[in-house]
Amino acid sequence: MPQGSSQPRPATPLHRVVVIVDAHSNPFELGCATEVFGLRRPELGEGRELLYDFRLCSPDPDTLMRDGFFTLTGVAGLEAADGADTVIVPNRPDVEMPRRPDVLDAVRRAHARGARLVGFCSGAFTLAEAGVLDGRRATAHWQWADSFRRRFPAVRFEEDVLFVDDGDVLTAAGSSAALDLGLHVVRRDHGAETANAVSRRLVFAAHRDGGQKQFVERPVPDVPDASLAPVLAWAQERLDRPLAVADLADRAAVSPATLHRRFRSELGTTPLAWLTGERVALACRLIERGEVRLDAVARGSGLGTAANLRTLMRRETGLTPTEYRHRYGPVPLPSGVTGARVRPATRGRTGHERDEGAA
């Protein structure tokens, strides 16, 4: 597997993401990281094809992956993690086996210099062993909840969520939650519009909030229900209009109580939470496209008033509309040049910096 792209890199340094791959690491999460952070994105337009400087590294020249599926070779040594802005730590199915001291030391060094740390699935065990999760929120796959709590009582473990964003340390539950967290990181770094473009290429849900349940009970009903997909698509086309949970229930031809149960069953969230999240995501896209009037953004996203927009955007994104526009809105172009350019992510920024300011 190649160490990185041989394509020429842009003049402005990119945020560097390095994945540490240790013996018996899971190929799926490695693939998720490569797909989200490593691929070129020609669909984003000239000059924006590469979102990150992406590298793989390993403490050994030859690294045997989980269950001996294959051997990883040709990647950088562990020292590559020392230059990363974001370090994705190893995850393995043998959670009771201690991680290698040199890997844990690399994680500690990254944390000490302010790098962002990401753990997919059992990667939370790596972070906890390194001592960077004490007193902080984290999650991992639900089947390891008891083991994690027993071994790391100082960590505030959250069992029934998809992922946890604790600023400069982020953790995700197993399997597809790695994609959820990866897209969340892209959204933090580059804005909702770019994250949506990446999710479309993945053919994956653009936004599942981290607070949704990991394990959603879906017993087989006596009479199968129709999917929620049609009513969700109908609502997404009408977010700028008055739209309440009762309207969704009417469209689905069920009672509000039944709709609530189906949302919990299929999506692990409530109709109101889903609707609010979709409207905030639309507000973010409107800001990224250049709308500067807060009342227009509020009306266009169905959030009603500028005050409501401020409250919900801060709750959902950690940023006010003004802060969001400053970070992700179009950059003024030089005189004589037409069009719009979106601000790039700032190299080395970690966490959800909550700038104080107006709006």
Residues contacting 237, CB < 8 A, separation 6+: none
Question: Alpha-carbon distance 34 to 85, whole Å?
Answer: 16
pLDDT at 7: 47
pLDDT at 200: 80
pLDDT at 150: 95
CA-CA-CA-CA torsion for 307, 313, 314, 317, nearest 10 degrees?
Answer: 180
| Paired residues of 262 in beta bridges | none
CB 38 within 8 A of CB 54: yes
Residues in the chain, pLDDT under 70 = 1-11, 203-226, 331-359
Q: What architecture is the 16-202 domain classified under in CATH?
A: 3-Layer(aba) Sandwich (3.40)
pLDDT at 216: 40
pLDDT at 319: 85
CA neighbor of 278 nearest in space, from 169, 348, 223, 196: 196
pLDDT at 162: 87
CA neighbor of 307 nearest in space, from 323, 316, 320, 317: 320
pLDDT at 205: 53
Question: Alpha-carbon distance 171 to 164, whole Å?
Answer: 5
In the structure encoding, which two tokens stand for residue 164, read together? 């946890």
Query: For residue range 34-82, what is the model confidence (pLDDT) as tens digits?
Result: 999 999 888 888 878 899 999 999 999 999 998 888 899 999 999 999 9
Question: Alpha-carbon distance 344 to 44, whole Å?
Answer: 12
The model's pTM is: 0.68
Question: Alpha-carbon distance 129 to 41, whole Å?
Answer: 35
Where are the domains positioned within the chain?
16-202, 273-342
CA-CA distances (angstroms) from residue 90 to 95, 253, 358? 11, 47, 40
CB 26 within 8 A of CB 91: yes
Burial class (CB in 10 A: 0-12, 13-18, 19+), 35: middle
| CATH code 3.90.1570.10 for 273-342 | no
